[in-house]
Amino acid sequence: MSDAYKYLDPDYTYTDPKTGILRNLANIEDEEVLLFAESGAVTKRVQELYENPIKIKGTSSLFVIHKYLFQDIYAWAGTKRVVEIGKAGKQFFPTSHFENAFRYIDTLILEYKAIRKTDKQALSQKLAEILDHVNYLHPFREGNGRTQREFIRLLAWEKGLTLNLNPPDNAFIFERYMQGTINSDVEALASLIFELIMEQSGK
């Protein structure tokens, strides 16, 4: 689906003008090789976050997560994008207004943290709102989906809940997640999250 993305990057801030692929720490010049290397490195880092979860402090934690996941691949891991992004005719949040968006999402996170652990309906609704706004923000040049799924998973973890929006054994869940984010359908996302969240073992 990445070929549906459009980037305004006339200065080649992120891409090699000769190959057209993202500049990377290994100087890989083949897109398929880069995708394979990126997938392997990020999968390993995701597993490490499962074993050693970080505490979500606010939108600043998005950058911590992104840097952790993509540190092996991109020098700009953990930094907000400086180019505009669109997909399927839809423009993501303009970089010029990022700070306002961060402040607003931080208020949603504070509201989430105030919800009782036992109120799964309210937790699901607020997680869906946060996910929708983070997705629209799309703060990174690459890796937004993987970062936001970890961000939401870790928020759920703090309430003693598990949440996997991309389980390896159920592609339909990932498709519902994708459709919910693409269409900005908060209610569909809330319903999906409510179905998926479970209490952590031993809690």
pLDDT in tens, 140-179: 999 999 999 999 999 999 999 999 999 989 999 999 999 9
Does the model's pTM come out above 0.75?
yes
List the 84-87 sheet strands across, edge first.
Answer: 5-8, 84-87, 90-91
**Three-class secondary structure of residue 50 per DSSP:** helix
- Tokens matching residue 64: 């911590």
Q: Is the pLDDT of residue 9 over 90?
A: no
Domain that holds residue 111: 2-199
Instruction: Identify which has the larger pLDDT, 147 or 202.
Output: 147
Q: 100 Cβ partners below 8 Å, 6+ apart?
A: none
Domain count, the chain: 1
Tokens for 100? 């306002």
> What pLDDT score was predicted for residue 202?
57
Give the CATH number, domain containing residue 99: 1.10.3290.10
Q: What is the pLDDT of residues 39-92, one digit of tens each?
A: 999 999 999 999 999 999 999 999 999 999 999 999 999 999 999 998 877 789
